[in-house]
Each structure stands twice: as C-alpha cells, then as structure tokens.
Amino acid sequence: MKLTVIGTGYVGLVTGTCFADSGNDVVCMDIDRKKIESLKKGIIPIYEPGLKELIQKNQKEHRLKFTTDMESAVRESGIIFIAVGTPPDHNGATDLGAIKAVARDIGRFMNEHKIVVTKSTVPVGTSEAIQKIISKETRTPFDIASNPEFLKEGAAIEDFMKPDRVVIGVNNESTGAVLKSLYEPFTRTGNPIIVTDVRSSEMIKYAANAMLATKISFINEIANLCTITGANIDDVRKGIGYDNRIGHLFLFPGVGYGGSCFPKDVKSVIHVGRQHGYSMELLSAVDRVNDHQKALMPQVIRKHFGGNLKGRRLALWGLAFKPKTDDIREAPSLVIIPALLKAGASVTVHDPEAMKNIKNVYGSKIQYAKDMYAALKNADGLVLVTEWNEYRKPDFDRMLKVMKGNVIFDGRNIFDRQQLLDSGFEYYGIGR
C-alpha cells in the first residue's frame, strides 16, 4: 500500500519505518526542514534502539522517503496517518493547532479518495473535527479513522512490530478492513486488532495512559507511607502483586512519571471532564501525587545535608524520563536539577543519551561528565534518577574512592540497600 505519515517524531518515524519494513511504500512528511534533511542522509534525530538500522535498510530499498512537501505527500498516498504532536496548553487542554493545520492541508491537496487516520493522541471528538475541517476544503470523498499508538519509547520498534493489541476506530466496515489488513503482518501471533467506533478508540488511548499513571501514583503514595511507617515497599509490592487481580507489572515506586504522554494525557482527561461539567477526582489526585513525588527527592537530599546544600556537590545519574531514550520531556530530572541548584548545590550529570537535550536546557549552569564515574568526582552524594542498565551494577568500591561523600539517593530502588550499607554508603530509597 502507499502510505503517508505526517509528523516525523517518535511516533511518526517509528510508524512510517515499521510500515515500510512490512512492504509498504511510505512517505514521511514533516515541517521541520532540518529534521527531514538529516533523515534523507540517514541521520536519525532521536535515539531509539534499532531505529537507525531499520530506517537505513528501508531507505536503501526505496520503500521509505522523507519530504517537507505536504502537497505531494498527500497526493501520493491512499492512507494518510497524522502523527503530529498534541502538547498541553497552559490549562492542561490539548493543543490541537498542528492537527488542525494538517487537516486543512490534507483537504486542500486531496485529489482522490483517501483514509485519514489520526494516530496522535487526541481528545474524544477530534477525528470528527478533522473530518469537518477537511470537508470544508474538498468535495472529494474520504474516510476518517482513529488508530491510537501504544508504543513505549525505548522499546518502540518492538512494541510496534509486536503490539499487545491494535485499536482501530472507524465509521464503516470497509475502512476497518483496509486498516486491519495493513496491521495483519504485526499481529500474526494472535494479538487482537480491536475495531471500535471512532470516539471509543480515541478514549481507549486516554483510558490506558490514565490507568498506567494511576498505578504509578498509587504505588508512590504507598511507598511514601512505607517510609513514614517503617514498612518496606519491596515486600509490600510482592505481597500485593501475587494477587491476580492486581499483578506485578507497572507497580514500581520512583521519582514520579514523566515523558511526553502520561503527564499531558492525564491533564487532558481532567480538562475534558471539566469541559463537560464532570470533575475527574481520581485523576486529579493522580496528577497531584505525581507533582509531589517529583518534588520529594530534593527535599530528602536537603534534609540529609542539614537543610543546606550550599557548597555541596551532587552527581546525577540519568536524565531522560526513562531508560533507552533521549527524551527529557517532563522528566523528573527537570524538577530535581533546578531544586538542587536553587538550594545552592553544584550539579554534575551523566546520561548515556540525553546529555545533549539537557544541555539545551541548563547550558553552563551544571557540569556534564564524560562517563558515569567522572560525574562522581568529589561528589558529596549521588542521585540516581533514571534506571539505565549500566547504572544497575556499578563498581561500588571505585565509587567510594572517587566520591568525597558516601550517600546515595536511589530514586528508582535499583540498588541493594543492605549491600550499600555494608559497603560503607548511606542509602535513601523510595519507601524502603
């Protein structure tokens, strides 16, 4: 099939590449000229394991092209995926500016029947709004569909190629059949393609992210109570996880959820509720608990150093909002770093992939280490913020030699508390 993907970010680029890899002819379009020029040369603007190789392979086989030309991108394909950003505005509402601009362009350049698929995460009713915008521009018949994306950054290729499920929202059977056949190569293991109406499909994405965010805020709140009462969250987690109705997955306490999805999607659901006169009590609390969790670690650090961080040197391991990505959008590090600086500390950071992005935010306000041990040089303490694999089993003796102090603030509970205490460290975890 001939496909166009508009918006070549984390989702659009992975979507376009994976569809090309399953034999389709794909055009990826973006308004960002620099990004498209790089991609044409095989230079990938983001870090995502396996993506570079897959892009280069499909470029070589002429199934994957990049362009900034909206007109040809629309005209060339029968199926157009919209995968542009849907960031939050200052009220927590979803900014649909890019989506609407793209819809207008699709309408303007529509030359024959097309299926216009919303892959971006959008509030219920947006695909219908897209339909109206396109209809204003063209009399050519077209169909709309909703096809939310569930990939996780850091495992995006794997998630796209082997999805737990695919959700497709359509207004008629024939559109559903076309999209189902497009996804069939990825669901050979029997994972379902769920076909719904358009509104339910849009809601499924928000409900999924809201549920996942709720799990994180829930376990963080219980972990904080463990700290206060002397219980151990590791045992509590195990103790509840063996209940089949609860399960073990996604119940890890930490320094709060970040990324470009959970924070904005939770806020968007709250906002949509408000628009309809319905107060989303649970999700409002989930959002507040998360803000609190991000602010908690700097408070613990301050308290440890007697309320004053002047002259203290802190090392941070991990800046991305999660491992295996360079994405720092809404990352806990963006709350922890300014809080430490404000309290008078100097901060040296390390991350395997996100240093460049953090440098764009903090410039010369912080120091950037060439490797994880260099970050510890003369540090009074280490703050573990993102659980990259390479941080999990460090050389603790080497760390003690390099550091001035001996305290570790483990924001992801990746270290063995007793082992660290035995090695001569002081240790703070989350709820342990």
Binding site for ligand NAD (CB under 6 A): 6-12, 29-32, 35, 83-86, 98, 101-102, 120-121, 149, 151, 153, 260-261
Q: Which amino acid is at 265?
A: D
367-368 and 114-118: which strand pairing?
A: unpaired
DSSP 332: T
Q: Which is nearer to ligand NAD, 47 or 368 (CB)?
A: 47
CA separation (Å) from 111 to 68, 78, 104, 108, 344?
A: 19, 10, 14, 9, 61
Q: Between 298 and 323, whose beta carbon lies closer to ligand NAD?
A: 323
Q: Which pair of structure tokens corresponds to residue 322?
A: 């999660």
Q: How far is the CB of 123 from ligand NAD (least distance, A)?
A: 11
Nearer to ligand NAD, 27 or 83 (CB): 83
DSSP characters for 195-256?
EE-HHHHHHHHHHHHHHHHHHHHHHHHHHHHHHHHT--HHHHHHHHHTSTTT-STT----S-
Give the residue with the Cβ less far from ligand NAD, 121 or 346: 121
Cβ proximity to ligand NAD: between 7 and 411 the closer is 7
Is residue 192 within 8 A of residue 168, CB to CB? The reply is no
Q: Tokens representing 380? A: 């009074």
Location of structure tokens 């760390």? 399
Measured from the CB of residue 153, what is the shortest distance to ligand NAD in angstroms?
A: 4
CB of 160 to ligand NAD, least distance (A): 10
Shortest Å, Cβ 405 to ligand NAD: 36
Q: Are 280 and 273 in contact (CB under 8 A)?
A: yes
- Minimum CB–partner distance for residue 43 and ligand NAD (Å): 14
Between 30 and 410, CB nearer to ligand NAD = 30
Buried b (16+ CB within 10 A) or exposed e, 220-253: bbbbbebbeeeebbbebbeeeeeeeeeeeeebbb
Pick the catalytic residue: 18, 28, 226, 261?
A: 261
Which residue is associated with the tokens 């029997």? 190
Which residue is nearest to ligand NAD, using beta carbons?
A: 9
What minimum distance in Å lies between the beta carbon of 287 and ligand NAD?
16
Closest approach of Cβ 337 to ligand NAD, in Å? 22
Measured distance CA(41)–CA(60) in Å, rounded:
11
Nearer of residues 31 and 231 to ligand NAD, judged by Cβ:
31
Q: Please, are residues 30 and 36 in contact by the beta-carbon 8 Å criterion? A: yes
Q: Are 295 and 335 in contact (CB under 8 A)?
A: yes
261 part of the active site = yes
CA angle, 59 then 60 then 62, to 5°? 65
Q: Which residues are known to be catalytic?
A: 261
